[in-house]
Amino acid sequence: MLEQLRGLLRAVLRSTRDSVRDGHLKAAYRQFTLDGVGRPFFTKWFASVDDRGDECDRALILDGRVLRSLNALGWSTREAAGRRDWPSRYAAYVSTMHALAGEFGVTAEWLEWLLFDLNGQVRAETS
C-alpha cells in the first residue's frame, strides 16, 4: 500500500511539473489530485518547478493569505476568470499578477509577496 502511494505521488509530481514547465497551468491544477493536499501546497510546488524564463507568466503561489488580501482589495479570482472552476481562476490570478507587475515595473513574485505579507489587512484611504 505504501509503495502504491509513493508511486502515485511520484506520478502526480512528475506530470504536474511537466505541465507547469510546458506553460499549462490549468492542466497542472486539474492533475494535482492527492487527498489532503490543497491549493497552498501544490501552487508552491508549481512555483518551485517552473523554470521557464522571465518572459513567461511563471507559476505563483495562491494561498489563503494572498486570497484574503485580494478579497480585501475587492478583486475576485472568479470574476477575473469569468468561471467558477479553480484551474481557470488560478490561471487568471497568475496572468493578472504578471500583467500588473509589468505595469508597476516590479516582479509578479514581489506583488505576491506583498499580498502574502498584508494577509488581508488592507485599508482603503478615503479623501
Q: How confident is the model at residue 127 (pLDDT cuts 50, 70, 90)?
A: low
Per-residue pLDDT tens for 27-77?
999 998 887 888 889 999 999 999 999 899 999 999 999 999 999 999 999
The total number of residues shown for the chain amounts to 127
The residue among 42, 50, 54 whose CA lies nearest residue 24 is 50
pTM of this structure: 0.89
Query: What pLDDT shows up at residue 122?
Result: 80
The residue among 55, 29, 51 whose CA lies nearest residue 107 is 55
Q: How confident is the model at residue 124 (pLDDT cuts 50, 70, 90)?
A: low
11 has a pLDDT exceeding 90? yes
Give the DSSP per-residue string, 24-42.
-HHHHHHH---TT--HHHH
4: CB partners within 8 A, 6+ apart: none
Instruction: Report the distance separating Cα 16 and Cα 2, nearest Å.
Output: 21
What sign does the CA torsion over 83, 66, 21, 96 have? positive
Per-residue pLDDT tens for 98-121?
999 999 999 999 999 999 999 999
The residue among 8, 96, 90, 7 whose CA lies nearest residue 47 is 90
Query: What pLDDT shows up at residue 108?
Result: 97
**Helix-strand-coil percent breakdown of the chain, rounded to 5?**
65, 0, 35
A 10 A CB-CB count for 36 gives 5
